[in-house]
Amino acid sequence: MDAQTISVAGDPRGYAETDQIRDEMAKLTHPARPDVDWRRVEQCCQALFSKNGVDLRTAVFYAVARGHRAGLAGLHEGLSIIDVLVCGHWMQMWPQQTHTRMELLSWLTGSVLQRLRALTLSYADLPLIYRTEACVARLCNALELLELKQLSRLEQIQSWLQQAAATLEQTDASKGITQEAAPERAPCVVDTVSARGIVKKAPPVILPQTRKARAPTKKSMTDAGRAGDAAAPAPNRRAGFMAGFICALLLAAATGAAVWWLARPAPAQALFDNVALLPVVNGSADAQRFQKSLTPKALENAREDWLMALNKKLTFLAGLPALWRQTQGDALLSQADALWPDTPAVATLRARERQRRESLALPAAALENWNLAQQRLARLTERLNALDERRGRWLTGSELKTAVFDIRQALDKTPPLEELLRQLAVQQAQGESAVALRKQIDDRFEQLLNRYALLTEKAPAQPRDLSEQ
């Protein structure tokens, strides 16, 4: 997959491949620790990329799967996709919640580090290490601008790669250095395939290890203990207690400050939260997904709190004004004017939004059709009343038909929304689908709301005088 030509995706949870990936990743926390089919995870991720596009969660799983199947080259491929996604499509990528994104990147850091520590690298891997480190550095810089670098923990991958590169740079290209295996895991060797198809083992490399101190001998410990007993005065228990108490207070204060610092909303992220896309709820699909991922007991425990939250949200939605979408758009444009005044891009966005509303709004002339019909009815009534006052002057049938036709034509041009709703009720009672009528009603609502928004602006357009027609 070309990381430079990715297509940003939406919510992938409606695809079957997402459930298959979730089933495989659940094996990582299964008590029996079954083997994860990383080939299946990779194939499912590629299928989602082609069907839905690239989202952050699928890209993270793809990077880990490629790392298990192709070693450092696979990790570089997956991290490159995440680099393009985060650096170029932060506003559009799914998921939209910042804390969910940070949880995914933090999990990615732990998985990548675990895979890196299991690899055996050689001097020939230096160019790939440099490229991977540069990719992670770009990610860290982008997240640092959003004040999210520490939460992602990606700098740990960058530090590991830098340390590995520094170690390999000191080795001769023709000789490998062996990496000491940690007691709890055995390193695996990355296989390389030559042009003839012969699999070769890359020479292992020693990555920097923490130096361990020698255990003191029994004799030295005895001598040191005797010397300390002879030279040390009697311990001051009160001073030791006060020192420990003060240290505990300082530690508690530092911990509280750190928790507050990490929990506070990032100013830069709060700026982007204002323009984040609203979540889209897919009732039946989401319900099926929750039923698969949660146990019946968990659903039962969450029922009361969830229904209370639903009641609050329904109350909030019911209180939204008719022009909520338009007023929110105006508020965001005003915010952009205040943050970046005299910016051509902001002026272009404002002009484009007004042009969009003008194109979607009910034409101004259509507002006059119903009133025009009422005026023509009033003039016809006046003419009929005038005949009673003037004996011998009659209104011919042709004149009456012409007047009635003009009135009906004005009424038929723009039937009121109430009439459209009455027609919908009749068609529903007759069992008809009324698809076209529903579309007409939806369009009329949209047109009226946009015209209403244009009329409520500071400089509303003046209606035309059609009394002479």
SS3 track for the chain: CCHHHCCECCCCCCCHHHHHHHHHHHHHHCCCCCCCCHHHHHHHHHHHHHHCCECHHHHHHHHHHHHHHHHHHHHHHHHHHHHHHHHHCCCCCCCCCHHHHHHHHHHHHHHHHHHHHHEECCHHHHHHHHHHHHHHHHHHHHHHHCCCHHHHCHHHHHHHHHHHHHHHHCCCCCCCCCCCCCCCCCCEECEEECCCCCEEECCCCCCCCCCCCCCCCHHHHHHHHHHHHHHCCCCCHHHHHHHHHHHHHHHHHHHHHHHHHHHCCCHHHHHHHCCCCCCCCCHHHHHHHHHHHCCHHHHHHHHHHHHHHHHHHHHHHHCCCCCHHHHHHHHHHHHHHHHCCCCHHHHHHHHHHHHHHHHHCCCHHHHHHHHHHHHHHHHHHHHHHHHHHCCCCCCCHHHHHHHHHHHHHHHHHCCCHHHHHHHHHHHHHCCCCCHHHHHHHHHHHHHHHHHHHHHCCCCCCCCCCCCCC
pLDDT at 456: 82
* Interval 420-441 mean pLDDT: 85
Residues of the chain above pLDDT 70, percent: 76
pLDDT at 393: 64
Q: Which residue has the higher pLDDT, 85 or 230?
A: 85
Q: Which residue has the higher pLDDT, 24 or 245?
A: 24
Report how far residue 85's alpha carbon sits from residue 87's, in angstroms, rounded to the nearest whole number: 6
Angle at 76 between CA 72 and CA 82, to 5 degrees: 145
pLDDT at 466: 40
Structure tokens at 165: 């590169």
Give yes or no for residue 434 having a pLDDT over 50: yes
**Residue position matching structure tokens 């579309």:** 439
* Interval 278-294 mean pLDDT: 78
User: Could you tell me the pTM of the whole model?
Assistant: 0.42
Give yes or no for residue 266 having a pLDDT over 60: no
Give yes or no for residue 174 having a pLDDT over 60: no
Give yes or no for residue 161 having a pLDDT over 80: yes
Give yes or no for residue 294 having a pLDDT over 60: yes
pLDDT band of residue 39 (cuts 50, 70, 90) is very high
Give yes or no for residue 268 having a pLDDT over 50: yes
CB proximity list for 39: less than 8 A, separation 6 or greater? 65, 69
Q: What is the pLDDT of residues 308-351, one digit of tens each?
A: 888 888 888 777 777 788 888 888 888 888 889 888 998 899 88
Question: Domain map of the chain by residue range?
Answer: 3-201, 304-359, 361-455
pLDDT at 261: 56
pLDDT at 258: 63
CB proximity list for 8: less than 8 A, separation 6 or greater? 53, 54, 55, 85, 89, 92, 93, 94
* Interval 270-281 mean pLDDT: 72
pLDDT band of residue 186 (cuts 50, 70, 90) is very low
Asked whether the beta carbons of 97 and 17 are under 8 A apart, the reply is no
Give yes or no for residue 361 having a pLDDT over 90: no
pLDDT at 239: 66
